[in-house]
Amino acid sequence: MNTLQASHPLVDGRTGDAPLVRALRGDRPDRLPVWFMRQAGRSLPEYRSIRADHRMLDACVTPELASEITLQPVRRHGVDAAVFFSDIVVPLWLAGVDVDLVAGRGPVFENPIRTAVDVARARAEFTPERLREALEPVREAVRLTVAELGNTPLIGFAGAPFTLAAYLVEGGPSRDHLQARTLMHAEPDTWRELLEWAAELSGTFLQAQVEAGASAVQLFDSWAGSLSATDYRAHVAPASRQTLDAVRDIRVGPDSAEGVPMIHFAVGSGHLLEELADIAPSALGVDWRTPLDDASRRLGDAFPLQGNLDPAYLGAPAAVREAHLDDVVRRGERAPAHVLNLGHGVPPETDPDVLTRIVERAHAL
């Protein structure tokens, strides 16, 4: 077991009792904690001003820029947590994989990984050790951010192994991830090697953020919803568990049983809730398709839940949006604890003032 340093916010008293941390540990603080996935950037004009002069991946590894972008929504919206500004492909890129973020498309890989030879080469060349050496700009960005946040927790962030593997096999975004799912069944040993490598990189990325000052982490799986429960359980869950184990092994103090809260969120995963729970995160994110009270019932009311405002309501009339928010909060009361969030990320066209009003209403409830 690793132990956090005495200067870490979870140890020195800054964030240990923060509403977000308490909720993720199963408590119900006096104030409902709120944050938004993809709140760092996208809809904020101050973010777009920075990005006008900086490539996405460069911004992610420039400490001052990454820290500033992370802090912007905390200043503007008064949310209860910052989420570290990054991208799921950053650990791959820092490890040496040739990837670019193409505007309007997403991650594009120059050399897709589709065979046993490809996987063996990647594991030999793009190692976690190489990533650890390249992560210092990320650690510095986390340290700068935590110094400014005070009592507000920072959430670390990484992509789940299946989503990374799907991008790597397909060479970029895909509608159905058919090539990735075919590899899963046609060459299961190659698939397992690929996911274990992706898990090592994402776990190393999460661990670095926590050690530098993050008070919680979220593992984000964009594409797990394309899998059946059977395939997820057999071919994906072990790698996601492996990723979280990199954080699960960290303790708040040498004599403490408390660890770092871990959220697992997968898009379109209503049919996978039980499988996601088996990975044993601290809390589960739920997208907008599954009501929170239904999700909690299926999970035996055993997990704090995060979510799950439908992003479509961000553009609805205020009265309609507020009724939806109130319904989500009411349904979330069934779970041991609730963190209010969207059921997916903030759309780029969102009016930032709408997000601020959601935070204000949630805090007033």
Q: List the catalytic residues.
A: 38, 42, 51, 87, 167
Counting Cβ atoms within 10 Å, is residue 118 exposed (0-12), middle (13-18) or buried (19+)? Answer: middle
Q: How many CA atoms lie within 13 A of 80 on its CB side?
A: 26
Nearest in space to 99 (alpha carbons), one of 110, 91, 86: 110
Alpha-carbon span 296 to 136, nearest angstrom: 39
Q: What tokens were used for 26?
A: 């199963």
Omega before 308 cis (within 30°)?
A: yes
From the list 204, 208, 201, the residue with the least C-alpha distance to 167 is 201
Residue 219, SS3? strand
Distance separating alpha carbons of residues 332 and 288, to the nearest angstrom? 12
Element (H, E) at 221: strand 216-221
Beta-carbon neighbour count of residue 230 at 10 Å?
9
Which residue do the tokens 């704090």 mark? 304
**Could you count the other beta carbons within 10 Å of the beta carbon of residue 307?**
27
10 Å CB burial of residue 300 (0-12, 13-18, 19+) is exposed
User: For the chain, what is the largest distance between any 2 Cα atoms, rounded to a whole number of angstroms?
Assistant: 57
Q: Are 88 and 168 in contact (CB under 8 A)?
A: no
